[in-house]
Structure 1
Amino acid sequence: MMRKKAGTGMLHWIFPAMIFLAALEMFLSGRDLSQQYLQLLQTGESTRHPLMTIAQRSVSVLLLVASVEQIANHFALRRPTPSATLLIAFVLYWVCTVASPALFGANPLIGHEYMYSLFVGVAACLVGPAEWQRILRSARDALFLLMLAGVLVAPFKPGLVMDVYYSQGLIPGLPRFGGLTAHPVTQGMLAQVALLVLWCMPYQRRWLQRAAWVLGLAVLYLAQSKTAWASFIACALLLLAVRGGPRLWRRMSDPRQGGFGVLVLLGLVVGVAGLATWVLVGDAFGRASELADTREAAQLMSLTGRDRIWVIAVEEWQRNPVFGYGLTLFDSAYRAAINLPHATHAHNQFLDDLARSGAIGASALVIYAAVLFGLALRGARASGGLSLALFLAVALRSVSEVPLSLKGYGTELVTHLLLITTLAAASAQRRTEPRPQAMRYGVA
């Protein structure tokens, strides 16, 4: 029996498949994005298009086949596990946040849809550098095609992809672009991830690379998600530091280029002096006090009402401290009972795991996050900074969303899996790099 070579599997197809399924569901939903809040008031389950049943079953089969093939191929080739720590931490996190509340939560519920994330996640933990390159290209192309499809649909069905009555943006009257995603915030997050991947995996054709940057930045701006804007700026600065920091430091420490180091330090001094002048002379604290009294500041302090949802999540954990409420928390019936139709989850990764899976799930989240951060830091050089950028994007989004949720598969799982594959590939790459020999006194 012929063995398959590494990097020839089907795992890279799961990213376009999940993105296509989410886009198809939005396209067939016939929604009006400007009336999304009123649609959430409906307590009953919405009717799905018959085509979605066929499409979802097909994608589910593809996910299982691609994952099983990846796992079987890994053992058939007797390849070393890129990071046993990552694999163990992921399985532990799935067991504590999915299996445990499904079996032992206050409202237990067992379903086959909870198994897909386990198989796909384990397969992602076994990805090598060659497979990672194909995965990045596949995810990059799918994300930009998703944005392009939303833009092309806009002239024909504007209400489907834009909130034309949005009035809280920087430019009054500018519609908010949600594209073929569930929400403009989701579109902003996916645009951010697409740009980060494009940065590290650029197109070879220059015109295509420039067009992709224009499309991605335009969609990121029109999504009008301030969280996505701030996150992209932070991730971009981190990528610049990782990819250009060593070269910058070498230039600053080179005695032959002393003028460059003096110029950089002078710029820092001017920046700090300018900030101090604004604080002391420009009455920065007085302006901040005036801003705190505005309606926008009140929404910011409450994170647009998310503080109420957080209180409910904590109360559910107090009633079920060990195994939590269960995976059905914040379903349509629960949202109707608490009169918060927009509360599809706890809007915070830690509180969501705490309420759904209790102290066991929250503890597993802390361990899993620590492992992800450690591996992202160690794999920063091997991944060109993408490991740290993706981790930072997920960490920032975890403040108000649930990007690490493993209940099912969808657009949120795309970023999570990209992070896992990047960490696995970086760990595998580090295994092949020659380790520096230890220096001993008197021996070179």
Structure 2
Amino acid sequence: MSTVMPSLRAYRASLLHFHADPAFAEHAYSWHEDGLLLVDGDKIHAAGDYAQLAPTLPEGVEVHDYRGKLIVPGFIDTHLHFPQTDMIASPAPGLLPWLETYTFPTERQFSDPAHGREVAEFFLDQLLRSGTTTAMVYCTVHKESVDAFFEASEARGLRMVAGKVLMDRNCPEFLADTAESGARDSEELIRKWHKRGRSLYALTPRFAPTSTEAQLTLTGELARAYPDTFIQTHVSENRDECEWVKSLFPASRSYLDVYDHYGLLRPRAFFGHCIWLDDRDFARMAETQSAAAVCPTSNLFLGSGLFDFERADVARVPLSLASDVGAGTAFCMLQTMNEAYKVARMKGSYLPALRMFYLATLGAARAMQLEGTIGNFAPGTEADFIVLDPQATPLLARRSAELNNLEELLFALALLGDDRAIAATYSGGRLVHQR
């Protein structure tokens, strides 16, 4: 045996990670029933069968024993709102009244940095206990809310994407910026936070109805000036919203076309919901490598509609799953998978559990153009991973005793699991949550 590598740590469990989308590739994943994950500092060193890797361990390396459990890459949530944490599960008859009654008054409080930091800390606790190690996060219109979020995530060493909401019309005066102030603030925040440590910045127009043409023009200019930033916004969530956009932008062919006109379709652009898109819209998203963040729990909660996985797959649109807290009703991506499965069935298609776990890990990383950084256990990727416990609840344990294969195991976790099934969460090789 070789001499000890002080930074090397080993984790024994069943291992699963992906190399490709199981919907389109035959050999899409690696599954090691008795596996060993080796972590060197904050990066993945190797992942494989225990019998093959154990003899290569340097003397003195402790093996953390998670046998009976499953280690997968940390979940990636591509659309959620940290300021809406305190208004989750607020009743309303639809999207627009929900925004007016709950969202805007709640977001008003985030001009206070202390309030923003306290909510950010609780929000990050919820993500980590749910196994989510990376998220694309909406802050509020206040610069202070972005600083509060990134300060909290940076202190924990997390890989996070976030941005200041841009909103200069059709909103309360207390939440409005201007086209110029929004662009200026966004550029300052990009220079301060983008690629600082593990933080990444997203240009964040809330949605087309709350931005003037001037604001969308300046956002497009920033997107061109900083091409490796992210873009995040909403599109075609709700029929009333779509009609509103049509009245505000009569020259545009579709809701998505509004964003296209201002140069906001490109790699690293994420569009939440995408329910009422047509085939031309899906084709344009695929052509520009713009990604759909599918939000099943919020779409059901607000009665917005059902995402069409089949049509999106025909066009080969980059897809990911998202909780959309606070319209979404759960932080945990297992619960998001549960609802995504049912949405697909209601639209006449079928989502295998393997596909859902892909979409919540490598699929999201690919859509974010972050493959090789996060999303699987390729050597050199950041060591973000979670330990799933099939015995976490009496019902899960009873079901797990009758499983015949990997698909059944993942399906049981997705349909019966919640944050109790997350035994441990590791970010950058560090234990950041333990049940």
In the superposition, the TM-score normalised over structure 1's length comes to: 0.22
If each structure's helix is expressed as a fraction of its own residues, which one has the higher value? 1
With a CA cutoff of 8 Å and minimum separation of 6, indicate the structure with the bigger relative contact order.
Answer: 1
If each structure's strand is expressed as a fraction of its own residues, which one has the higher value? 2
